[in-house]
């Protein structure tokens, strides 16, 4: 089954922030390439979403995968939809950001 990948507003904001950070530190081209690679990683969840580490202790159904040891991608699967909840860069704490409550 092919799943649909959607981005929560928080995840889109994270990627925009990451782009700005890298563009300022390096260049807009490097930033665009890096963010595009993260987007491809997220889109790869279309065909095999049941990967990553389950983190039900933070949020029921939460899964987390890493990208290049610098970004943690948090997502949930609901039916045929994979929702990207956030892209946490350089050890940014996703626990408190995603906890229900």
Domain limits, the chain: 4-94
pLDDT at position 100 is 54
Query: In 3-state terms, the chain is what percent helix, strand and coil (to 5)?
Result: 40, 30, 35
Structure tokens at 12: 């889109």
pLDDT at position 20 is 97
Superfamily of domain 4-94: RelE-like (3.30.2310.20)
- Percent of the chain whose pLDDT exceeds 90: 83
Would the pLDDT of 90 be above 90?
no
Structure tokens at 98: 């995603």
pLDDT at position 74 is 96
pLDDT at position 99 is 66
Q: What is the mean pLDDT of the chain?
A: 92
Structure tokens at 29: 């081209």
Tell me the pTM.
0.91
Q: Strands 81-89 and 4-7, how do they pair?
A: parallel
Residue carrying the six token digits 């202790």: 57
């Amino acid at each position: 089954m092919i799943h649909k990948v959607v981005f929560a507003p928080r995840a889109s904001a994270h990627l925009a922030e990451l782009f700005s950070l890298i563009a300022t530190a390096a260049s807009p081209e490097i930033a665009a390439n890096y963010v595009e690679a993260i987007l491809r990683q997220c889109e790869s969840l279309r065909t095999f979403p049941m990967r990553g580490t389950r983190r039900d202790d933070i949020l029921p159904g939460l899964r987390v995968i890493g990208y290049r040891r610098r970004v943690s991608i948090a997502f949930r699967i609901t039916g045929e939809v994979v929702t990207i909840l956030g892209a946490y860069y350089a050890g940014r704490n996703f626990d408190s950001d995603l906890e229900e409550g």
